[in-house]
Amino acid sequence: MKPFTLFLLLALSVLTSCVGTDPAQLLEQGKDKIKTGEHQGAMALFDQVLELDASNADAFYQRGLSKLALDNLSGAVTDFSRAANLGSTVPDLKGVASSLNKAAQAEINSSTAYYYKGTAKGRLKDLNGAIADLSKAIQLDATNDKAYGNRGLVYLQNNSRDAALSDFDKAITLNPQNANNFYNRAILHYKEGAGDTPKACADWKQAEALGFKDNNRYYERFCKE
């Protein structure tokens, strides 16, 4: 083989090797697989990223998403916790991990397990996934006031006002001692497009009476004459 040809082949081999071991490129390939639902393939790519860069917070986070999609709750807890400890910019990952840990400890396929999975997905802004899991929690236990309350909050984030109001009303009927639902329903009443200040103020006042700590600033600002 001619020296120039050998040199060219070696150069191409080195280039291919570099491309195949670029953590940033592997990470993007993994994210693409998540979008198409290829979670096993995505995790294999994130594993490669972490072999090359064990402190890559985004790789832990993305791998956690795939594990959650495959219902590997304990694995997702571990990855989200690692991502949070490594300084991930994704908000509230420790809260996500805490909710998933409770789901993992609950009875499989119970209302409680679906409630905590739905709560975690809501924190991750997976609104459709959150609604699906919280709806399943309600289907399994129609008295699960927390599931109604959290689904109402997800509906509110999704700008589904009527569905949110219905869930907050149901949650309050089931458990009139939960201040969070009064607070969230007050936000809904006051939210732009609703503008029902008297109802908002009544709910904020009740939330405060039930011990909601962050409520006073809204009541003082919007409800005091």
Let me know if 124 is exposed, middle or buried by CB neighbors in 10 A (0-12, 13-18, 19+): buried
| Domain boundaries defined on the chain | 21-92, 106-175, 179-225
The predicted structure's pLDDT at residue 190: 87
Calculate the alpha carbon distances from 66 to 18, 40, 49, 112, 169 in Å: 26, 8, 15, 22, 35
CATH of 21-92 among 3.40.50.1110, 3.90.930.12, 1.25.40.10, 2.60.120.20:
1.25.40.10
| Half-sphere exposure for 138 (CA within 13 Å, toward CB) | 20
The predicted structure's pLDDT at residue 193: 57
How many other C-beta atoms lie within 10 A of the C-beta of residue 75? 18
The predicted structure's pLDDT at residue 191: 80
Global pTM value: 0.85
User: Could you tell me the maximum CA-CA distance found in the chain, to the nearest angstrom?
Assistant: 92
The predicted structure's pLDDT at residue 115: 98
Question: pLDDT tens across 176-206, in order?
Answer: 999 999 999 999 998 865 567 889 999 999 9
Per-chain mean pLDDT for the chain: 89
Q: Write out residues in the chain with pLDDT < 70, as ranges.
A: 1-20, 192-195, 215-216, 225
- Within this chain, domains 21-92 and 106-175 share the same CATH topology: yes
* Superfamily name and number for 106-175: Tetratricopeptide repeat domain (1.25.40.10)
Let me know if 189 is exposed, middle or buried by CB neighbors in 10 A (0-12, 13-18, 19+): buried
The predicted structure's pLDDT at residue 221: 78
